A and B are shown apart, each in its own frame.
Chain A
């Protein structure tokens, strides 16, 4: 067992088995993520070298850089990391409990629910109610849709496959409602809604976006990680999990709620950025295997890196236009989804 290192406290109250490979990969990805953050912060119409970025972050940079970095760019970078990792972890949880590598918040209708909540907010209260309240409506939307999904999928417990099939149906229905609103509404609101439905982290600020999302992520990610045991046992199937003494339905509901809250919070700020919840966990499993204790941190980092790079490309490659990052993630994500479908064609 040289690939593993057991960690145990002296009184044997605490013990855990660490996979060395996963620790290394997490560490490497963490460094890659930091590097991507620094490069991304420097890139834009005004290019700043990575060294100057670091100096500025440490408070020793030039004043002009400080305004650009601290006021304009850094919030967007932080949001990319938070949104990307939340969506990725939401997807990782969902794929494990649904036991299907094709599941993700966007496929199951959770993202659509959140996005409908936000679009409704734009149409009903646009301009009258402060924008701070928008996350609340989108998280509510995500939970309502998931609740509906759960009720429709319930038949003496929730069967994972039913959950996914009904999710796809609901997802399509919700999307059409959102589009109907956009088409029938005034042009200016429609524009904002459409950007939101594609997913963009354009023009984010510290107090409005970062401080709204950060508490959610800071609480939900560790909470999800603590559920590692329960995620792993669920992945063996309901009957094996019950046999081993897990409360399958109770855990599934809790994990689904965690996934929905993460996805809902991320969508509230970043809009319906697609495919990250699908791609990141899949890549993570390829790197570290299927044990959730390793999959969670690796997915989170990969999700952050993907969104950072997608946003970097979206706002620099088409200057002076700022393309929504969701367009880029969809451009890589859609072929990836096809590849997954093709690979899994014989499994179901």
Chain B
């Protein structure tokens, strides 16, 4: 297995620091999810952990040694990263794609060993892509395509897999499909999985460890049930919300507040109240409240800046 740690990391684009003096240790054999608003540095952090970006200061420690002192092939046997929205060349088949996950194990003499063949078969089976192995990647649906790419990273046989927004551009069914696949990889093979997700609810459901990032700093980290609450979401996303337990697993479920919808429904309620008043010449009682004019729940009203 491999451990992954970030020590005193600093990275800047031009003169502006994305993050500075950042320390983070990824729990081994667990699913870790980075959450944060757009541009908070979560993808940058993930990419620098996989040596795709070179940090200006600090270091990334992979299995005890500094990633910058290791050969890129050595790193590739311990850690794989699937970047966001990868594209395959026209006509490339699933098998040809997955095969290339074996790159760090091959040389120009040894291009297709028995081991390569077995591992590629396993990766195809694990992702349910065996049937589609001969199909061109660009002819597949979004979910299948993402599974093909995940199969390629699986063929790399690394104890650690990083994924940058693996569910972006997928519909809900395929999001669940991909996350289930990753969950299985973690559960069965004990692979360490680190990913960036935008959906907080799915993040809370699938993560063992959540890392909330805000402006290049780690705002909070820990098990979803311990760290995700209204205050954290407000700090990280600048969004007021309600947190209720997920009816299936009891993990935090975020119900966001909004402004427009809330205001509109209140305005409607007021208007109907007034109409009722002028029609009947008396204040509205409990009995003539209709479905449309149901008041927003108490807490919601309290949290809103608009007073009814």
Where the two chains meet, the residues of A that have a C-beta atom closer than 8 Å to any C-beta of B are 1, 3, 6-8, 12-17, 96, 99, 101, 226, 228-229, 232-233, 235-237, 239-240, 242-247, 285-286, 289-291
Query: Chain B residue with minimal CB distance to A289?
Result: B91
Name the interface size band of chain B: 35 or more
Q: Are B91 and A233 in contact (CB under 8 A)?
A: no
Q: List 3 tightest A-B contacts by C-beta distance, closest first.
A: A245-B76, A245-B104, A17-B112
Q: Are A246 and B103 in contact (CB under 8 A)?
A: yes
Q: Are A290 and B83 in contact (CB under 8 A)?
A: no
> B214 within 8 Å of A by Cβ?
no
Query: Chain A residue with minimal CB distance to B50?
Result: A243
Out of A228, A237, A247, name the residue touching B83 (CB < 8 Å).
Answer: A237
> B109 within 8 Å of A by Cβ?
yes
Query: Which of B47, B81, B90 has the largest number of chain A CB atoms within 10 A?
Result: B90
8 A/B residue pairs, CB under 8 Å, sorted by A: A6-B117, A8-B114, A13-B110, A15-B114, A229-B108, A239-B81, A244-B156, A289-B136
Task: Knowing A285-B91, A289-B96 are in contact, say whether A244-B76 is a contact too (CB < 8 A).
Answer: yes
**What separation, in Å, do the CA atoms of A224 and B104 have in the docked complex?**
20
A244 / chain B contacts, CB cutoff of 8 Å: 76, 80, 100-101, 103-104, 156
**What separation, in Å, do the CA atoms of A16 and B111 have in the docked complex?**
5
**What separation, in Å, do the CA atoms of A290 and B116 have in the docked complex?**
20
**What separation, in Å, do the CA atoms of A332 and B134 have in the docked complex?**
33
**What separation, in Å, do the CA atoms of A233 and B112 have in the docked complex?**
15
Out of B81, B88, B96, B133, name the residue touching A243 (CB < 8 Å).
Answer: B81
**What separation, in Å, do the CA atoms of A235 and B137 have in the docked complex?**
13
Nearest-neighbour CB distance to chain A for B15, whole angstroms, equals 15
Q: Are A240 and B83 in contact (CB under 8 A)?
A: yes
Task: Knowing A101-B90, A245-B77, A289-B91 are in contact, say whether A12-B103 is a contact too (CB < 8 A).
Answer: no
> B92 within 8 Å of A by Cβ?
yes
Q: Mark B55-81, 1 if CB is under 8 A from A, else 0.
A: 000000000000000001111110011
A3 / chain B contacts, CB cutoff of 8 Å: 134
B112 / chain A contacts, CB cutoff of 8 Å: 6-8, 15-17
**What separation, in Å, do the CA atoms of A101 and B138 have in the docked complex?**
15
Q: Mark B144-163, 1 if CB is under 8 A from A, else 0.
A: 00000000110010000000
Query: Which of A8, A15, A226 has the largest number of chain B CB atoms within 10 A?
Result: A15
B108 / chain A contacts, CB cutoff of 8 Å: 226, 228-229
> B290 within 8 Å of A by Cβ?
no
Q: Are A290 and B89 in contact (CB under 8 A)?
A: yes
Q: Are B97 and A236 in contact (CB under 8 A)?
A: yes
A12 / chain B contacts, CB cutoff of 8 Å: 110, 113-114
Q: Are B76 and A291 in contact (CB under 8 A)?
A: no
**What separation, in Å, do the CA atoms of A314 and B266 have in the docked complex?**
81
Nearest-neighbour CB distance to chain A for B105, whole angstroms, equals 9
Q: Are A15 and B110 in contact (CB under 8 A)?
A: yes
A233 / chain B contacts, CB cutoff of 8 Å: 100, 103
Q: Are A245 and B86 in contact (CB under 8 A)?
A: no
Nearest-neighbour CB distance to chain B for A305, whole angstroms, equals 21
Nearest-neighbour CB distance to chain B for A296, whole angstroms, equals 14
Task: Knowing A14-B110, A239-B52, A243-B81 are in contact, say whether A289-B75 is a contact too (CB < 8 A).
Answer: no
Q: Are B83 and A243 in contact (CB under 8 A)?
A: yes
Nearest-neighbour CB distance to chain A for B146, whole angstroms, equals 13
Query: Which of B73, B101, B109, B111 has the largest number of chain A CB atoms within 10 A?
Result: B111
> B282 within 8 Å of A by Cβ?
no
Q: Are A15 and B156 in contact (CB under 8 A)?
A: no
**What separation, in Å, do the CA atoms of A96 and B88 have in the docked complex?**
11
Query: Chain B residue with minimal CB distance to A2?
Result: B134
> B106 within 8 Å of A by Cβ?
yes
Q: Are A246 and B83 in contact (CB under 8 A)?
A: no
A235 / chain B contacts, CB cutoff of 8 Å: 89, 92
Nearest-neighbour CB distance to chain A for B86, whole angstroms, equals 5
Nearest-neighbour CB distance to chain A for B163, whole angstroms, equals 11
A101 / chain B contacts, CB cutoff of 8 Å: 90
**What separation, in Å, do the CA atoms of A235 and B110 have in the docked complex?**
20
B104 / chain A contacts, CB cutoff of 8 Å: 244-245
Q: Which of B159-217 contact A (CB under 8 A)?
A: none
